[in-house]
Amino acid sequence: MTHSGVPMGFWGDQRALVTGGAGFLGQHVVERLRRSGCKSIVAPRRSEYDLRDPLAASRLYEDTEPTMVIHLAAAVGGIGANLERPAEFFFDNLIMGTQLLDQAWRHGVPKFVAIGTVCAYPSTAPVPFREEDLWDGYPEETNAPYGLAKKMLLVQSQAYRQQYGYNSIFLLPVNLYGPGDNFDLHTSHVIPALIRKCVDAIARGDTEIVLWGDGTPTREFLYAEDAAEGIVLAAERYDSSDPVNLGSGEEISIADLADRVARAVGFKGRVAWDGSKPNGQLRRRLDTEKAAARFGFRARTTFDEGLQRTIEWYRDSFPTTTGGTP
């Protein structure tokens, strides 16, 4: 048995293709697959296969002959990046997912694991978000193009299962964080951005950092290693196109998050809020019971533990970085 309780035999027989395998979440998924006994893992680079190109997607399957596809490749970013590049986030995510799933079916790949996003949920969805509420409204405007593009993978998964009997699954993770995250302030999500701002402020001797919005929205965060465990468990044990949430179940306000990051980093200055910038969706927290029931996943890393590991990784990786891009 592996550490997560997954039989070694299942993964020992698989040839896993992980798109986006060199990215933040992808690196954790590849490591989890290795620990689960998978000896054949392909993580293609964009320079080799531009997944927006249908010929490249077909060639990828012909070259690698996978038995399992875990599709993580995505154009992603925080609120600012979504507002600046909505067309790119819509087209790239939509076309990659659509082509990869279609080509997986055409090439006889036994199973396809599609990764959606919490951004697919309606802006008015009751908290905690239940999978059954996914279609009860339009997503929050600041990231709707991205959320809807990823949501189309669910429609495609269900349609291909209905017409062709094709085995694909669709998972909905919340905001992720952890070692290896993107700390570029122009494109990063809130936790790496906060860590970067606090570390840089200490290095420069600044007494204040400025954050978007007013701090009142809430978010839920899932440690990337936990997310990888949930994805691998679902890939092995779950065989339905009904969507499933992946989360920690812990809701935290952005203001509280900023205080906790500042304390953990050691920044003692003031946190100021720029009310001219958008808050994004008011609240986000997932109902995580279906993941526990369907394939036995529950998050194991506490937020403070995961945050400390993330800060340590950043400081070890970029010990002298202030300003610019790591």
Q: What is the pLDDT of residues 126-182, one digit of tens each?
A: 999 999 999 999 998 988 999 999 999 999 999 999 999 999 999 999 999 999 999
Q: Does the pLDDT at position 301 exceed 90? A: yes
Tens digit of pLDDT for each residue in 217-235?
999 999 999 999 999 999 9
Active-site hit among 49, 61, 121, 146: 146
Strand 40-42 with 68-71, pairing: unpaired
**Quick check: 260 pLDDT over 60?**
yes
- Residue 8 confidence class, pLDDT cut points 50, 70, 90: low
Q: Which residue has the higher pLDDT, 256 or 78?
A: 256
Predicted TM-score (pTM) of this structure: 0.91
- CA–CA separation, 33 and 312 (whole Å): 24
- DSSP, collapsed to helix, strand or coil, labels residue 49 as coil
Buried b (16+ CB within 10 A) or exposed e, 39-56: ebbbbbeeeebebbeeeb
Q: How many CA atoms lie within 13 A of 237 on its CB side?
A: 19
pLDDT tens digits, one per residue of 13-27: 999 999 999 999 999
Q: Which residues pair with 170 in a beta bridge?
A: 114
Above 60 in pLDDT, residue 1? no
If DSSP codes are grouped into helix, strand and coil, which group holds residue 66? coil
CA pair distance 4, 189, nearest whole angstrom: 28
Classified as helix, coil or strand, 189 is: coil
Kindly state the average pLDDT of the residues 295-308.
Answer: 97
State the pLDDT at residue 326. 53
Clarify whether 138 is annotated catalytic: no
Q: What's the Cα-to-Cα distance from 74 to each of 39, 52, 56, 257, rounded to whole Å?
A: 25, 11, 16, 26
Q: 8-181+221-251+283-301 architecture in CATH?
A: 3-Layer(aba) Sandwich (3.40)
DSSP 45: -
3-state DSSP percent of the chain in helix, strand and coil, to 5: 45, 15, 40
Please give the pLDDT value at position 283: 85
Give residues with Cβ within 8 angstroms of 307, minimum separation 6.
177, 191, 260, 261, 264
Q: What is the DSSP string of 91-136?
A: HHHHHHHHHHHHHHHHTT-SEEEEE--GGGSBTTPPSSB-GGGTTS
- Domain ranges in the chain are 8-181+221-251+283-301
Q: How confident is the model at residue 210 (pLDDT cuts 50, 70, 90)?
A: very high
